[in-house]
Chain A
Amino acid sequence: MRHYPSRAKALWTAALSACLFGTAAAKDYTEYGIDEDVPGPGSYETIDGKDYSGRKLTIITHAVPVIGEPTALHAEQFEELTGAEVEVVHVPFGDLFQRIMIPFQTGQQAYDVLFYGSLWLGDYHRYLAPVPEKYQNSSAMQGVTPTYRDVATWGEEMIQFPVDGDRHYLKYRSDIFDDPEMQARYLEDTGEELRVPQTWSEYNEVAQYFTGWDWDGDGEVNYGTAEVTKRDDLMFSAFISRAAPFAKHPDVPGGFFFDLETMEPLINTPGWVRGLELFVEAQEAFPPGGTSFGLGDEIFSFGGGQVLMSYSWDDAFIQAMQEDSRIRNEVGAAILPGASEVWNRETGQWDQLSEPNRVAYITWGWTSAVAGNSPNKDMAFDYLAFFSNQANTKHDLQIGRFGVNPYRTEHFDADFWIEEMGWDEDTATTYVETLEAIDSSDNRVFDLRVPGVGQFMTSLAAGVAEALAGQATPQEALDGVAEEWSRIVDRIGEDRVREAYSTVVAIEDAR
């Protein structure tokens, strides 16, 4: 872990450097924990040249450590460099949406800078300030992959400042999949080759086989899969990952959650139902308590070596790769499993595919923005540019608890992970190749970024939870969700939801 210098130490170092090398020499900012400052509107040097003395910036962000800790760290550095006063308000995730929304709706100017989940863009976009051209044209922003620039964009306008990149992908124990003895054993017992699952059916079969015995020889029973299943704890994202390859036809544009033309919910169509059936079936391969795992449980179950496979955000993979992890460098990454058949809603039939339909789920992650009613937009955008400059991002990527994940092209370089993080070559390669494959995929789904996304997703989570708990069949549960979604659309207004959803469909169908 890096150590951050005190303000006094940093100032003394800066003063000493100035005396020794003169003002013409480039300043050295390595005392801030970075390797090298990169020129641009958010660089240390540029921000150091600003004087915001006597002005105050107010930031709302998530609780420490995930995104909250880097927010506070860079706020402190920003204060030192510019003389501004920066107040950081940390809020638990469950409260974050309404803490931002209520001041917007009541016309209060509560915060200048906002950190929040990117799926709330459909609700917030009316209240945000567009990112000025100066920042959009910077090398830091140009380095952001098109996928994450899409995530930051509403229609034609960039209104979110990218600070993180998220996607769901498969994590697996490479030591087990690559073990010849284990491969032979699996072949003998099942008649199938042991390989990283290509489809969700295969995932369930492999997970089932590796459940209930000590396959890693540590004296503890192991299990096949850990998944986020706790209702209201991001379970909806896990279900979207599982359903996507059955429901997102690569050749049928015009909507994944809704039919964009009619705004009929597609959530209870056969593709989604098939995804839920396999989710329910997978419970047999969960560890004890796995049917109520939150994200934290999933991270520690896979990262702690309890299960063979998992899928969600980066965290579980990063946990497994911590220096003190007993499975460090014994894990691999792959794009999410697919499906050998996909529902075609145009023909009303299942289409059989020669190659599995693999869908990249660009799930929501942390993002940032400046409030449209902020009187400090100049300072606020400078802060965000500083937060996400190349040097700071490179630093933040190395600290797992910060919750900052790769989102620039330069982050998809295996050498960075090998040299800076000490990963071995195979692990780093599967990791960056997976991220790159997701990023360049032409069969992608994004979150439902429409007004009222919270209502849609809690309703979906409740339906899926009922099916997982055996309170309803998958079809019954999703029929109930579809009815609720129709009512939500009616309440919010069909045209309003369609207009917002069309921006999501546009980026899904763009490739």
Chain B
Amino acid sequence: MYRQKYLFLIPGLLTLVAIIVFPLLFTIRVSFSSWDVIQPGLDWIGGENYARLWEDERYWEALLRLAGMAGGTVLVQYVLGFGLALLVWREVLLKRFFRVLFLIPMMTTPVVMSVIWRTIFHESLGPVNDLLQRAGLEALPWISSAGLAFTSVMIVEIWQWTPFMFLLLLAGLLSLPEEPYLAARIDGAGPFRTFFRVTFPRMAAISVGAILIRLIEASKIMETVYVLTSGGPGTATETSSYYIYIRGLRDFQLGYAASLSLIYLIIMIVSLTLIGKGLTRIFVKDQA
């Protein structure tokens, strides 16, 4: 009877193996093969793909670019998301309406939104340049200059995913106890002191969680780059996911793309673990 209880684990374990373990093991195996347009299937070439990727400057540049893009967007999303959550946390007019309104960007499909943003940023026909010119300002090369194209991708990401940050932080705010605020009021603390001494420290744990979740998501950015800039101009907005997509599905270098993916996965696991530990040590230590 005692042993039979493990039988109940089998469906879950099988599902886990099917959707996580098998694809991962298969990808590892593919990364040691030369599978491409000429060589179908799983031959064995040892670590050739891994040796090749060390010299692949485009891959490492894309990874650095991704780090900047993900860090920048998540930071802005956190600040904006926290601000919006604070706005609708307390009793305000049309609170429910605003809570739903803020979530709309997150509910739309990234590809569709990227197409719409591409139209908005269109340098000849888009409304942004039109408005700038009506205001007497110069039209800007939103997609065709390296710096602005990078900024445009970040704007779309921030617009789309700030609501996610908002949602998590609002849930955190709503779960805070009332007593510390009563005590702060009795002690005569103003709104800023209350925020920095009461709200922010108590939101630290959930903030770290939200930032990590968003960093994981942001590190996979692909659709926005694909639709908005195709990685250009030049390679100015090429991120790791997009580069791996090009190598894997456009060039059909499946073996090499698998090795790129695995190294990317390892780097992400290590760096996100370190970031998580660092943030926890800095912000959550006192709480613990």
Contacts and interface: CB of A to CB of B under 8 A. Distances in A.
Contacts of B232: 230-231, 292, 465, 469
6 residue pairs, one from A and one from B, having the closest CB atoms: A289-B123, A469-B234, A105-B40, A288-B123, A291-B144, A469-B233
Interface in B23-45: 34, 36-38, 40-41
A174 interface: no
B230 A452 contact: no
A466 B235 contact: yes
Contact of A462 (B149, B235, B249): B235
B250 A454 contact: yes
Contacts of A466: 234-235
13 contacts: A97-B250, A232-B230, A287-B124, A289-B124, A289-B141, A289-B143, A290-B144, A292-B144, A292-B230, A451-B38, A452-B251, A454-B37, A491-B36
Interface string A9-24: 0000000000000000
B196 to A, nearest CB: 44
Interface string A285-308: 001111110100000010000100
Interface string B128-164: 0100000000010111101001000000000000000
Interface in A471-504: 471, 491-493, 496
Contact of B129 (A95, A288, A301): A288
Interface string B211-243: 000000000000000100111111110000000
Contacts of A506: none
Interface of A: 94-95, 97-98, 101, 104-106, 123, 230-233, 287-292, 294, 301, 306, 451-452, 454-455, 458, 462, 465-466, 468-471, 491-493, 496
Nearest to A92: B111
B250 A465 contact: no
B252 interface: yes
B211 to A, nearest CB: 32
B146 A452 contact: no
B144 A462 contact: no
Contact of A232 (B141, B146, B149, B246): B246
Contact of A97 (B41, B235, B252): B252
A452 B38 contact: yes
A496 B252 contact: no
Contacts of B277: none
B259 interface: no
A106 B252 CA distance: 14
B122 interface: yes
B15 to A, nearest CB: 24
Given A289-B123, A471-B234, A458 B38 contact: no
B253 interface: yes
Given A97-B252, A123-B37, 13 more contacts: A94-B250, A98-B249, A101-B252, A104-B40, A123-B252, A290-B144, A451-B37, A454-B250, A465-B232, A465-B235, A469-B233, A493-B38, A496-B38
Contacts of A233: 230
B249 A468 contact: no
A292 B229 contact: yes
B285 interface: no
A233 B249 CA distance: 15
Contacts of B144: 288-292
A470 B145 CA distance: 10
A115 B107 CA distance: 34
B253 A455 contact: yes
Nearest to A283: B144
A292 B145 CA distance: 9
Given A289-B123, A465-B234, A471-B234, A94 B37 contact: no
A469 B37 CA distance: 30
A106 B42 CA distance: 11
A291 B229 CA distance: 11
Interface string B178-212: 00000000000000000000000000000000000
A233 B232 CA distance: 11
B40 A94 contact: no
Contacts of A468: 233-234
A29 B141 CA distance: 53
B249 A452 contact: no
B124 A98 contact: no
A291 B233 contact: yes
B114 to A, nearest CB: 13
Nearest to A107: B40
A231 B226 CA distance: 10
B58 interface: yes
Interface in B252-284: 252-253
A123 to B, nearest CB: 5
A281 B37 CA distance: 36
A469 B38 contact: no
Nearest to B143: A292
Given A95-B249, A98-B249, A462-B58, A306 B124 contact: yes
A306 B141 CA distance: 17
B249 to A, nearest CB: 5
A455 B251 contact: yes
Given A289-B141, A466-B235, A469-B236, A458 B251 contact: yes
A496 B36 CA distance: 14
A220 B237 CA distance: 31
B36 A230 contact: no
B126 to A, nearest CB: 8
Contacts of A230: 230, 232
Nearest to A98: B249
A493 B38 CA distance: 9
A95 B250 CA distance: 8
A98 B254 CA distance: 10
B32 to A, nearest CB: 16
Contact of B252 (A288, A306, A454, A491): A454
B111 to A, nearest CB: 10
A231 B234 CA distance: 7
Contacts of A493: 38
A138 to B, nearest CB: 33
B246 A101 contact: no
A420 B125 CA distance: 33
Contacts of B122: 289
A95 B36 CA distance: 16
Contacts of A454: 37, 250-252
Contacts of B236: 469
Contact of B231 (A232, A289, A290): A232
Contacts of A101: 37, 252
A318 B191 CA distance: 64
Interface centre among B41, B123, B234 (most CB of A within 10 A): B234
